[in-house]
Amino acid sequence: MQNKIPIFGICLGHQLIALANNATTYKLKFGHRGGNHPVQHLQNGKVEITSQNHSYTVDPSSINESVLEVTHVNLIDNTIEGLRAKDGLTLSIQYHPESAPGPNDSEYLFDMFISNMRKQKGEDNA
């Protein structure tokens, strides 16, 4: 999916972004519920403590790596928790960064999204 505006998908939005890019999802035997789910950010190795409430996940074998890259993985069951489109404007997270069960573990995601919006608007100092 070639995009012209920044998009940040959260939970169902994450799955919809995957589906829009021809990936598939499947139902987990046991959904992810509650807080304290460790998720690793693959680009920097940091582990975030997350809040989750979902029953489906993206099938890693269905991802077209020329379009999407996996950015986050659940450390309990190795399911995909984050994606980023190669266009640089689309990112998604399966968990709920806005509920912040850890102090501010996922705040940087909103900074990235705001930076994408500023760049798209032409504010290059973002």
pLDDT for position 101? 53
Q: Specify the DSSP element, H or E, that contains 115.
A: helix 107-121
- Extents of the domains making up the chain: 17-53+67-121
CATH fold of the domain at 17-53+67-121: Rossmann fold (3.40.50)
Cβ density class 91-111: b for 16+ within 10 Å, e for less: bbbbbbbeeebeeebbeebee
Catalytic residue among 32, 81, 98, 107: 98
pLDDT in tens, the chain (126 residues): 556 889 999 999 999 999 999 999 999 999 999 888 999 999 999 999 888 999 999 999 999 999 999 999 999 999 999 999 998 899 999 998 876 555 566 778 888 888 988 988 887 654
Residue 11 catalytic? yes
Catalytic residue among 32, 41, 54, 96: 96
Residue 96 catalytic? yes
Phi-psi domain of 89 (left: phi exceeds 0; alpha: psi -120 through 50; beta: other): alpha
